[in-house]
Each structure stands twice: as C-alpha cells, then as structure tokens.
Chain A
C-alpha cells in the first residue's frame, strides 16, 4: 500500500526520525489498556489503531509552537492522553484518574489539559479547527502546520467535506489530514454501514496530495508527515482496530471495552 512520496520540502522539515518511537508507542498502549481497566472503560479499539499516528505526529511536530496536532476522532481520547503523557506533556498519569469524578481526563479530549487546544468528540469539528490554524499560519507567513488525525468512519460527516472544500480553495499546503483507516465505527464495519469508496480519488478530486501508508510503521508515518509543496495533504493510514492486542485486532466489537485488571495485566504482557 505504501507509495513513494514527494520529498520537495523534505529539507525544510528535515527532522531526524527518533529512535524511541516503538518504545513510546508500547508504553502508550499500556496506558490505553490501563484506561480500559478503569471503572468507565474506554474506546480501546480506535485508540490502539491511532496511537502510532499520534505518538509519531507529536514526536515530529509536538515541539513546534507554530504547529498543532489535533485528534478529531475524539472518542480515542485515551490514545491522545497516552501519547501526550509519554511525550511528557501531561502532569499526571491519565490512567490513574481517567473518567473519574473531578478528573480532567474525560472520555473525550478536554481542552483544559495541556497540549489539547480544542475539545473534540463531536466528529468533524477538529478537522475544521485545524484548517483554521493552518490558515492562520499561512496568513502569518510561518512554517507552521495544522495536523489533524481523524477516523475513516468520521468521513461520513458532511463537515469534513465542507472543510476540505475550503482547504483546497485556500491552497492550504500546510494542512495535513491523517485518516486512521481502521475500517470500524461504533455500530460495526464502515464497509457495511456507509462505505467510503475511492478515498484516494475523492481526496485528489478535492485538490489534496494523497499518501497511503501502513499506519503502524513509525518510519512510514514520520516520513509521510512532510507537507506537500503545493497542495494540502491527506495521509491515508491503513490501521488495525485494536492493534497490539490479539483478542481485539480487527474486531469491530472492540470499539469500546471495560476490562478487569487481571486481563489488562495479561494484555500488557502480550502486546505485539
């Protein structure tokens, strides 16, 4: 699935691939599993599919004051909290209070936390917000990027395409839209509910450059997150719902789970 990508702006964004991404992602997966073992449980399937994307995007751009990384598929909040925590951006372990009374670690991202400028969860809004950030950077003449990670089910929202229309009209080549293509959504498979066909062609028709990658290979993600020289960029990341936990992988029923502590312990030991 992976294809060659434009490297026109590679020098401009020549950030070396960190060597510890696999370790960070493994730690983040453990945290996600811990959040599934809290009294509330969490959206574990989509969190495990998106975690490599989040950890890598934050590694590449999380320290750039002119760039923002937004999780638009906000139900994967556990992944966002875990990724921010392993990158040292959160003051406390999210798994220790996730979903609890008085905790800011709510089931969808909370903008009162550091590293989360925009609360998402109602699907589509994070994409438009990131486009606004990208537009601001374009107007201010910075090199900053608006980077957003959304779901493939989320593409059913009209707001996505309303935003894509504006992004291409404004030639926002500093906008990167990563689609976590895990094939699942709340009630089952995307393919069974409302298939998103010809996705590459669809984004290309909206004026995007398109890169298709393995959404769990950190080097592929890292390299793909270099903006195109002229067009907004859609990174179609093929992922596996529940990635890393054999019992969950590819199972649409893994969308949300609340698990006992002993099971969480086993899953963490056997993370693939």
Chain B
C-alpha cells in the first residue's frame, strides 16, 4: 500500500518526476527543503540550496526564468509572502517572470512553531500584487496536479501548502483543470440554501464533513483563488446558491470571501476564517486553529445560524 504524501512531500516528488522530461525545471530552496530532497537526489545539477536568502532568492529565480529556466523556489509561506514580498511584487507580479513560489507552512500548519512561522496574511498580500496565480491544493493528488499545471504554464505561481498533514484529494476527472470549481456531487438541478466554499486543506476537510450533515448545503472546493480564477467562479457559484460561506484558513481581511463579496454584490457572502487574534499558543495544527475559532464546531454553529437556527434546519 502506498503511503499518502503531504502536500509538501508531494510537491518535491512530483517536481522531481517532471524534471525527468522537462530539462528547464530547476529547483531552488532557501534552506528549508530538508535533507534527502528527492529533487536533489535525482537532479543534483539542477538543485540549488541558495541558503537563508528569500528576498534574493526570488530575484535570482527571475534571472533564471529570463534565461529560459522554469524555476520552482520554495520556502515557508511566512517568508515567501512577507519577507520576500517586494521581490514577489516586482519580479512575479509587475514583471510576471515565470517563477513558481511554493510555500509550505501556510496558515497555522506550523502548529507549535509559533507566530513567526505562521502565515494568515499571505493570500491577501499575494492577491494584491496581480498577475500571480494562487493555488491552495487539497491533498496529494491535487497538489501533484497543481505542480504539473504550474510547470506547463508561463504564469507566475504562488502555491500555498501545509506542513505534514496528508489527505486524499476530492475526486476530479483527469480532463478537468484544477482551475475549475470542484463541486461535491448532488442531485441534478440541486439548489442549495447555502453553499460552502472551501479553500485549503483543513477547510476542505471540514466542509466535506459538514456537507454530509446538511442535505441542503452544497460544497464547492476552490483550488485556485487568484482574482482571475475567482472571477471565473462567479457564474458556476450563482448556479448553486444565493448565499455562500467561504471557509479559509486566513484572516478575513484580504481573504477569498472579501473578494467574492465584491464580485457578487447581489449575493450574501460570509466568512469562516482565522479571526483577528494572533496565534499565541502551541498545539497541533488543528489545535491552534481551534484557539482561533476555526474548526468543526464553530463552523457547524455558523452554518446552523445561517440556516436560521436549529428550527430553520
């Protein structure tokens, strides 16, 4: 039986595989790729650990891209989106260099590592730069597919991953891009009283669980959440419901719910997010999320409330 890989391990493995046939792929790390990196083992000449240098790393990746390489550069989300923010803005946003920035430790997946290693603001930052594809894949298979899509594209990518959580991705036909909204199956012409929109791994798992509990609640999983992708989701979403609850491990400010609300002013868009507190305490990924009011019970309560309370269900 094959062991299910976490998103970040799936990334390394998939990229190493892709590089067998795609000689332009080069893998850069800022000293957080870990030992026995599969890409380093299989393609040592195209693997570069730049050292602890995120800001320079993104610009260097831009130089490599200009010379024809397809550079994938990885560091934790907090350092990728915040420390290297200006390089991302200029090289990837403004100049649209073909750089793929892969960011594990998204949200509070670092758990007990603390706030320096958490990224609850990264999507807002990257989203505001324009031009950059943003993907938050769920599970091993979807992560692999996003990596393949990124490698085949000439667009800059920000790919937000978690730490060590490993999940089965939701089933998706091989001929449908991860850029398409993935809707959990319901009866034909089903119109929900509320549609959950999940972004990221923990959120998607929560939505899968709760959709089973409420027969008039739909679930749409959004793998890509850049502004271009969100615009493309508007019509499919309108066909599902009039009211939406975005579940996303991120601040409300600059999150997916806020942008969707602007895109669908005639609809109601709510947010289940990581709140306004700093993640001060230790614990597992799920425990830190729970401290921030993000989890199964608070989400269930929010859904019940939006459906009109216990009597409304």
Given the interface contacts A128-B60, A134-B63, A135-B60, does A119 sit within 8 Å of B95 by beta carbon?
A: yes
Closest to A125 in B: B59
Interface of chain B residues 39 through 67 with chain A (CB within 8 A): 45-46, 48, 50-51, 53, 55-57, 59-67
Sample (13) of A-B pairs whose CB atoms are under 8 Å apart = A119-B94, A124-B55, A125-B91, A132-B59, A132-B61, A132-B62, A132-B64, A135-B48, A136-B67, A136-B68, A139-B45, A162-B55, A169-B51
Q: For the complex, give the distance between the alpha carbons of A136 and B62 in Å.
A: 10
A108 to chain B: closest CB distance in Å? 11
Closest to A132 in B: B63
Q: With an 8 A cutoff between CB atoms, is B165 at the interface?
A: no
Interface of chain B residues 60 through 78 with chain A (CB within 8 A): 60-69
A-B pairs, 10 with minimum CB distance:
A132-B63, A136-B67, A128-B59, A132-B60, A133-B63, A128-B56, A162-B56, A163-B56, A162-B53, A129-B63
Q: Collect the chain A residues with CB atoms within 8 Å of residue B60's CB.
A: 128-129, 131-132, 135, 163, 166
Q: For the complex, give the distance between the alpha carbons of A122 and B64 in Å.
A: 20
Q: With an 8 A cutoff between CB atoms, is B86 at the interface?
A: yes
| Residue pair A119, B56 in contact (C-beta under 8 Å) | no
Q: Which residue in B46, B53, B64 is a CB contact (below 8 Å) of A165?
A: B53
Closest to B59 in A: A128
Number of interface residues of B (CB under 8 A): 27
Q: Collect the chain A residues with CB atoms within 8 Å of residue B26's CB.
A: 139
Q: Collect the chain A residues with CB atoms within 8 Å of residue B91's CB.
A: 118, 125, 129
What is the 8 Å Cβ interface bit string for chain B, positions 71-100, against chain A (1 contact, 0 not)? 000000000000000110011001100000
Q: With an 8 A cutoff between CB atoms, is A101 at the interface?
A: no
> Which of B48, B50, B65, B94 counts the most chain A CB atoms within 10 A?
B50
> Which of B26, B50, B55, B63 counts the most chain A CB atoms within 10 A?
B63
Q: With an 8 A cutoff between CB atoms, is A130 at the interface?
A: yes
Q: With an 8 A cutoff between CB atoms, is A111 at the interface?
A: yes
Looking at chain B's contact residues, the main secondary structure is: helix
What is the 8 Å Cβ interface bit string for chain A, positions 121-150, against chain B (1 contact, 0 not)? 010110011111111110110000010000
A258 to chain B: closest CB distance in Å? 27
Q: With an 8 A cutoff between CB atoms, is A220 at the interface?
A: no
Q: For the complex, give the distance between the alpha carbons of A219 and B197 in Å.
A: 65
A147 to chain B: closest CB distance in Å? 12
| Residue pair B53, A133 in contact (C-beta under 8 Å) | no
Looking at chain A's contact residues, the main secondary structure is: helix
Given the interface contacts A125-B90, A162-B55, does A170 sit within 8 Å of B63 by beta carbon?
A: no
Q: Collect the chain A residues with CB atoms within 8 Å of residue B51's CB.
A: 165-166, 169
Q: Collect the chain A residues with CB atoms within 8 Å of residue B86's CB.
A: 122, 125
| Residue pair A146, B63 in contact (C-beta under 8 Å) | yes
Q: Collect the chain A residues with CB atoms within 8 Å of residue B45's CB.
A: 139
Q: Collect the chain B residues with CB atoms within 8 Å of residue A159's CB.
A: 55-56, 59
Q: For the complex, give the distance between the alpha carbons of A125 and B84 in Å.
A: 11
> Which of B45, B67, B69, B86 counts the most chain A CB atoms within 10 A?
B67
Q: Collect the chain A residues with CB atoms within 8 Å of residue B62's CB.
A: 118, 129, 132
Q: Collect the chain B residues with CB atoms within 8 Å of residue A130's CB.
A: 63
> In the complex, given contacts A118-B91, A163-B60, what are 16 additional A-B residue pairs having Cβ atoms less than 8 angstroms apart?
A117-B66, A118-B62, A118-B63, A118-B95, A122-B86, A129-B59, A130-B63, A131-B56, A131-B59, A131-B63, A132-B63, A133-B64, A135-B63, A136-B67, A162-B53, A165-B51
Interface contact tally, CB-CB below 8 A: 89
Q: Collect the chain B residues with CB atoms within 8 Å of residue A139's CB.
A: 26, 45-46, 69
A42 to chain B: closest CB distance in Å? 21
Using a CB–CB distance below 8 Å, which chain B residues touch chain A?
26, 45-46, 48, 50-51, 53, 55-57, 59-69, 86-87, 90-91, 94-95
B156 to chain A: closest CB distance in Å? 14
Given the interface contacts A119-B94, A135-B60, does A166 sit within 8 Å of B66 by beta carbon?
A: no
Q: Which residue in B59, B61, B67 is a CB contact (below 8 Å) of A137?
A: B67
> Which of A68, A117, A137 counts the most chain B CB atoms within 10 A?
A117
B70 to chain A: closest CB distance in Å? 11
Given the interface contacts A119-B90, A132-B61, does A166 sit within 8 Å of B69 by beta carbon?
A: no
Closest to B52 in A: A162
Q: Which residue in B53, B64, B87 is a CB contact (below 8 Å) of A135?
A: B64
B293 to chain A: closest CB distance in Å? 37
Q: Collect the chain A residues with CB atoms within 8 Å of residue B95's CB.
A: 111, 118-119
| Residue pair B56, A166 in contact (C-beta under 8 Å) | yes
Q: For the complex, give the distance between the alpha carbons of A267 and B307 in Å.
A: 76
Given the interface contacts A111-B95, A128-B56, does A136 sit within 8 Å of B87 by beta carbon?
A: no
Q: Collect the chain B residues with CB atoms within 8 Å of residue A158's CB.
A: 55
Q: For the complex, give the distance between the alpha carbons of A137 and B60 in Å.
A: 12
| Residue pair A128, B90 in contact (C-beta under 8 Å) | no
B56 to chain A: closest CB distance in Å? 4
A176 to chain B: closest CB distance in Å? 14
B75 to chain A: closest CB distance in Å? 13
Closest to B65 in A: A132
Q: For the complex, give the distance between the alpha carbons of A219 and B223 in Å.
A: 57
Closest to A126 in B: B59
| Residue pair A122, B67 in contact (C-beta under 8 Å) | no
